[in-house]
């Protein structure tokens, strides 16, 4: 059986609120990253900002998908037509969300690789998209791949913190670690649906930490100038 729904039906109402919140927070992360880039001309910071633009887009797509699904259930049409429309909307939403989120995470991984070879980025994205598309359990595979990418990102920032023990590096490490843990909860959420809520709470904490860290870095950067 093909599993395509992003989360259980009972979570739709809460998810829309959380997705809008995530979209706003990740957009702010991107904006502050770009502002820091203007001060430092650091290409890694710019790519970090671009990555979160795509992650923001992924959450916007997710929120719009759920809003459309609710609107279909409210229509005075046959149940069969509604179910068919819901399936198509959700399938498109899943693929679009997965594409944008994968681009965002792979860009973050690309930052850690410290390479200018965009063929590596395209290759990684193609591998992720093809794997998800041909997988029977699309949702499960999507979160597994996201967890794997985040694992390597966390390892990089852990080693970076070991070599450069600064408070801001530690905050970034903790934020990405929380995001990794939250994604792991999503992997197992098909068997225990409460894990969706736990995963979202970890993600919220992760994004807030990353945003606060960028705000502090920008303020310190302006003071130095």
pLDDT one-digit tens code per residue, 201-210? 999 999 999 9
| Total-model pTM | 0.88
Q: What is the pLDDT of residue 52?
A: 97
Please list the alpha-helical segments (H only) found in 41-166.
43-74, 79-113, 118-134, 138-163
3-state secondary structure of 103: helix
CA–CA–CA angle 101, 105, 110 (5° rounding): 140
- The answer to whether 74 touches 31, Cβ cutoff 8 Å, is no
- 165: CB partners within 8 A, 6+ apart: none
- How many residues does this entry show for the chain? 225
Q: What is the pLDDT of residue 180?
A: 97
Q: What is the pLDDT of residue 162?
A: 94
Residue with tokens 């699309």: 138
Distance from C-alpha of 90 to C-alpha of 84, rounded to nearest angstrom:
10
3-state secondary structure of 137: coil
3-state secondary structure of 200: helix
Q: What is the pLDDT of residue 79?
A: 47
Q: What is the pLDDT of residue 182?
A: 94
Give the rounded distance of the alpha carbon of 119 from its chain centre.
22
Residue by residue, pLDDT tens for the chain (225 residues) are 344 445 555 566 778 889 999 999 999 999 999 999 999 888 889 999 999 999 999 999 999 988 887 776 555 444 444 566 677 777 888 889 999 999 999 999 988 887 777 888 888 889 888 888 888 888 889 999 999 999 999 999 999 999 988 999 999 999 999 999 999 988 887 666 678 888 999 999 999 999 999 999 998 766 665
- The answer to whether 22 touches 207, Cβ cutoff 8 Å, is yes
Distance from C-alpha of 225 to C-alpha of 221, rounded to nearest angstrom:
7
Both tokens assigned to 175: 């934020």
- The answer to whether 157 touches 176, Cβ cutoff 8 Å, is yes
CA–CA–CA angle 108, 208, 115 (5° rounding): 15
Neighbours of 186 (CB within 10 A): 24
Distance from C-alpha of 28 to C-alpha of 56, rounded to nearest angstrom:
9
Q: What is the pLDDT of residue 78?
A: 46
Q: What is the pLDDT of residue 221?
A: 66
């Amino acid at each position: 059986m093909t599993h395509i729904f992003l989360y259980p039906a009972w979570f739709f109402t809460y998810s829309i609120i959380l997705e809008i919140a995530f979209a706003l927070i990740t957009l702010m992360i991107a904006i502050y990253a770009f502002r820091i880039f203007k001060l430092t001309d650091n290409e890694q910071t710019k790519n970090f900002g671009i990555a979160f633009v795509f992650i923001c887009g992924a959450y916007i797509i997710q929120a719009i998908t759920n809003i459309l699904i609710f609107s279909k259930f409210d229509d005075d049409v046959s149940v069969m037509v509604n179910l068919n429309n819901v399936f198509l909307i959700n399938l498109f939403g899943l693929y679009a969300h997965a594409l944008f989120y994968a681009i965002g995470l792979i860009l973050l991984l690309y930052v850690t690789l410290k390479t200018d070879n965009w063929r590596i980025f395209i290759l990684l994205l193609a591998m992720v998209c093809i794997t998800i598309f041909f997988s029977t359990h699309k949702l499960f595979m999507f979160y597994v791949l996201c967890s794997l990418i985040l694992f390597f990102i966390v390892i990089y920032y852990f080693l970076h913190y070991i070599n450069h023990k600064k408070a801001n590096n530690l905050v970034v490490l903790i934020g990405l670690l929380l995001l990794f843990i939250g994604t792991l909860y999503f992997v197992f959420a098909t068997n225990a649906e409460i894990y969706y809520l736990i995963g979202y709470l970890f993600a919220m904490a992760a994004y807030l930490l990353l945003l606060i860290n960028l705000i502090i870095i920008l303020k310190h950067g302006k003071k130095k100038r």
